[in-house]
Amino acid sequence: MTTLRVALVQQDTVWQDPAANLARARGFAREAAEAGARVAVFPELFTLGFTMAPEPFAESIPGPTTEAVGALSREFGLYLVGSCVEAHTPKARNAAFVTGPDGSLVAAYRKIHPFSYGEEHQHYSGGEDCPLFQVDGIPCGLQICYDLRFPEPFRSLAVRG
């Protein structure tokens, strides 16, 4: 059996300040690497906070946030799971991504089910697919928050390995 050590980051977010949050993320990535983790996972929209004003922060994938997180992956030799507001029409998307130890973008996922009870659907478009990727030969997938309430994407990932 293969073991994969994953660090889950709980970061006190500086509201809508990507630079400050990325600076904090560096310390968490270092701690994860020093603890022997192979993967570190940051919270949903960790560079901003869970904002309902996504437009000023919307960016492409790859883009500034994936590049900054990729640099941390390369520096600490980790797979990092981050997220950002992705520019998209008609509305931005809440997106997660994985960067590899070489700094490359490994996978990107767009939250399929915006949290309608929190009015997220009024500000974000849903995604359509669930990428399957590998971490050191172990098949992995991504989901974001409210997506866990819907079994179909998990079933799709399981069927694909």
Residue-wise pLDDT for 16-42, tens only, equals 999 999 999 999 999 999 999 999 999
* Mean local confidence (pLDDT), 106-133: 94
Tokens of 113: 């089910």
Tokens of 116: 């309608």
CA 112 to chain centre: 13
Whether the pLDDT of residue 140 is over 90: the answer is yes
Q: Which residues are catalytic?
A: 44, 111, 145
* Mean local confidence (pLDDT), 52-68: 97
Above pLDDT 70, what percent of the chain? 100
Asked if 157 and 130 count as a contact pair (C-beta separation under 8 A), the reply is yes
Compute the radius of gyration of the chain from its Cα atoms: 15
Q: How far apart are CA 112 and CA 38, in angstroms?
A: 27
Block residue for tokens 């700094």: 103
* Mean local confidence (pLDDT), 96-100: 98
Which pLDDT score is estimated for 1?
73
Above pLDDT 90, what percent of the chain? 94
User: HSE (CB half, 13 Å, CA atoms) of 138?
Assistant: 12
* Mean local confidence (pLDDT), 66-89: 98
State the distance between the two ends of the chain, measured CA to CA, in whole angstroms: 16
Which pLDDT score is estimated for 161?
87
Residue 96 phi, psi (nearest 5): -110, 155
Collapsing DSSP to helix, strand or coil, 54 comes out as coil
Residue 130 phi, psi (nearest 5): -125, 100
Task: Give the pTM.
Answer: 0.95
* Mean local confidence (pLDDT), 61-73: 98
